[in-house]
């Protein structure tokens, strides 16, 4: 796999969707064999990136060993997510509008009126605020990602893990669009839970 090419491709996709920008959001994928993290650089518009700009971090030493630009300071968040989920190789941290709105309220998102949220067992948890660029941002992340692939970062944004960047981006897109629709639906009127929701949820996870 060309790791830099993968990071570049999804960086462009996510900026086109408005989920990341020059100041916010980062995308990474890990080479588990070499324990090297390929991640977007700091403070650069994702649409203007090329492969040479993708940063490479040695996760053992946390030293940057590749890339013409400085790595995002959020590499520690990505490292923590990948340590929490050794079955996953990709991480997306972004600031998509509707999920981030919940994060700014430090609230989990609970939606029981549509089937899309069955993929996250009805809830996206929110962990407390931690200072960006430090190890504190990952406090609570291991527990939050224990049985889910996505969670909110209090007063900050969203993080998602998956086996690859395709699955990672698909889950974020689905959860963001569902949350957007949920917010709009509640502006129109009152949403109604799926009948026998707990039973449906248990059947979905079986």
Share of residues in the chain with pLDDT > 90 (%):
93
What is the percentage of the chain residues whose pLDDT exceeds 70? 99
Q: Is the pLDDT of residue 48 over 70?
A: yes
Residue 206 predicted with pLDDT over 60: no
Report, as an integer, the average pLDDT of 2-23: 96
| Average pLDDT value for the chain | 95
Per-residue confidence (pLDDT) for residue 203, from 0 to 100: 84
Distance separating alpha carbons of residues 28 and 161, to the nearest angstrom: 10
Contact 179, 111 (CB under 8 A): yes
Domain CATH number, residue 23: 3.40.225.10
Look at residue 38 in the predicted model and tell me its pLDDT: 98
| 126-129: Cβ within 8 A, 24+ apart | 126/102, 126/151, 126/152, 126/153, 126/154, 127/151, 127/152, 127/153, 127/154, 128/154, 129/153, 129/154, 129/155, 129/156
**Amino acid 205: pLDDT:** 61
* Total domains, the chain: 1
Please give the residue range of the domain that contains residue 51. Answer: 3-204
Confidence of residue 133 (pLDDT cuts 50, 70, 90): confident
* Residue 74: strand pairing partners: none
Tell me the pairing of strands 126-127 and 150-153: parallel
């Amino acid at each position: 796999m060309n790791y830099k090419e993968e990071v570049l491709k999804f960086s462009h996709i996510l900026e086109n969707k408005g989920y990341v920008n020059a100041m916010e959001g980062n995308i990474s994928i890990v080479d588990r064999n070499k324990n090297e993290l390929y991640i977007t650089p700091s403070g650069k518009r994702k649409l203007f990136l090329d492969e040479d700009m993708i940063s490479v971090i040695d996760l053992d030493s946390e030293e940057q060993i590749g890339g013409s630009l400085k790595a995002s300071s959020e590499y520690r968040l990505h490292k923590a997510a990948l340590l929490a989920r050794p079955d996953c190789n990709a991480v997306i941290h972004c600031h998509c509008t509707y999920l981030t709105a919940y994060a700014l309220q430090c609230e989990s998102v609970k939606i029981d009126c549509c089937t899309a949220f069955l993929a996250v067992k009805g809830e996206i948890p929110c962990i407390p605020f931690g200072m960006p660029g430090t190890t504190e941002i990952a406090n609570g992340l291991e527990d939050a990602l224990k049985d889910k692939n996505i969670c909110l970062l209090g007063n900050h944004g969203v993080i998602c893990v998956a086996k690859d960047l395709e699955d990672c981006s698909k889950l974020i897109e689905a959860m963001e669009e569902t949350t957007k629709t949920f917010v709009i639906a509640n502006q129109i009127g009152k949403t109604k839970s799926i009948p026998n929701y707990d039973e449906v949820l248990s059947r979905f996870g079986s």
